[in-house]
Amino acid sequence: MKLSLYYKLLVFHIVLAIGIFVYKPLALAYFLLIIVFFSYKILRASKKYKTFYVLLACAYIVGIEVFLRMNGGTVFYEASKYLVIVFVVMGLLSNSFSNQAIIYLIYILLLIPGIFVAVTEMGFESDIRRAIAFNLSGPICLGITAFYCYKRSLSFKQIKIILLAFLFPLISMAVYLVLYTPNLQEIITSTGSNFSASGGFGPNQVATVLGIGMFVLSTRFFMSRELFYHRIIDLILFALLGFRALVTFSRGGVITATILIVFFLAVYYFKVNIKTKFRIKFSLFVFLMMVVFTWLVSSIQTSGFLDKRYANQDAAGREKEDITTGRTDLLAFEIGEFVDNPFLGIGVGKVKEARLNETGVAAASHNEMSRIVAEHGLFGVFAFLILLLTPLVFRMRNRTNLFFYSFYLFWFLTINHSAMRIAAPAFIYGLCLLNITYETPKTKSLYPKHD
């Protein structure tokens, strides 16, 4: 992507954030516009570029999903997941697929018995259709995306553009959050997750997607061969997204982003030449300085509550007993339901109802692993093992994807603290199954030797 176009798109998405902040109905209009735009691009794309445009469209939808949700900008709540499925199916209709990808169709089939259990076991007071749609839209989106991506090839240049498709709408969201709560000291009075600092939306989901933007900007900063001041702009944007992620007081997305960046740097460092290794070391020093600066500003803006949050303390500085903020109770409850119903599980969407009946608290699952085994029983165990092991087997045979561990870990870590409430873990899981090709005319190495 040409540098001038990059900055034009940055400016456009900043203006978009201001426009939606001033006039909220613009969010829905923009959602409809991008559906038409990307549908047109996919349908018109030649077979050679079809995969690229499908994944580009999906990445943009994933990047903008939470921003549109917080502004009522989707036709219905799960629309983004269904749209990712539609775009992928559009790609499947004109592209062949690997026979080995059938494993992901088996994964989808393993989820079906849980539907029948739900229909027969749920009480009449439950909205069965909504419960099934909410709990299966993410897993099915993952299965179809993985089926499509398995062993497909993209160039290194194309995957970097797809990463930018995640980024631009996240810039819009960060700008919107600044406009929504310009004075953080007025709204942060405790160490709990803060909805006001998250645009009035779920802090967990906001921090998770901002973490994706942090990862993309860090990869740009370390891999870019542009002039240094261009890289500094990316670093400033990283600080903006990092700051807004931190002040949500939701730790999962920030910690996940940190782990992704570490794994990316480790893989990248050992795949480049000596000259590039030296540049990475210098860049890392500058990067860490910006990280420290971002933390200090965040700490000051939150009157020190941020430090207590990450030290697992309450507002008075007392250590909290449960660092997981109740997630272990949910996990234990769901494992208990599996033990009681090991074969078919309790049915899709039944966990929330069962917990309400037993404890009087209607709490949705935060952990996709425990949810899938509780609701699907042994079928869920086999389904999850397919998800867990297939990419690792693929990696043993194909080491071309520089971002493999980062994509794989994003899926695994996110489903453990935020389940699959958004499309991001489902789609990004599929990206770790891609084959990446590199233009290296002067070397036979699988990875580019940066100068």
Give 384-438 pLDDT, tens digit per residue. Answer: 999 999 999 999 988 999 999 999 999 999 999 888 889 999 999 999 999 999 8
pLDDT digits (tens, 9 = 90+) for 130-146: 777 778 899 999 999 99
What's the CA gap between 178 and 198, in Å, rounded?
A: 10
| DSSP β-bridge partners for residue 436 | 154
* Cα separation of the two ends of the chain: 19
Sign of CA dihedral 106, 111, 112, 117: positive
Nearest one of 374, 376, 377 to 358, comparing CA atoms: 374
Scanning 47-151, the segments in alpha helix (DSSP H) are 47-69, 79-92, 102-110, 112-121, 128-149
The pLDDT confidence band at residue 443, using thresholds 50, 70 and 90, is very low
* Number of residues that make up the chain: 451
Longest Cα–Cα distance of the chain, Å, equals: 67
Q: Which amino acid is at 9?
A: L
Q: To which H or E segment does residue 32 belong? A: helix 26-44
CB 117 within 8 A of CB 346: yes
So what's the pLDDT on residue 339?
A: 87
For the chain, the structural domain boundaries read 1-96+153-173, 99-152+174-437
- Global model pTM greater than 0.85: yes
Supply the pLDDT for residue 67. Answer: 97
CB-based contacts of 328, cutoff 8 Å, min separation 6: 322
Provide mean pLDDT across the span 86-108.
91
- Other CB atoms within a 10 A radius of the CB of residue 130 amount to 12
Average pLDDT over residues 2-11: 87
The band of 245, judged by pLDDT with boundaries at 50, 70 and 90, is very high
Q: Is the dihedral of CA 230, 232, 235, 236 positive or negative?
A: negative
Q: How confident is the model at residue 266 (pLDDT cuts 50, 70, 90)?
A: very high
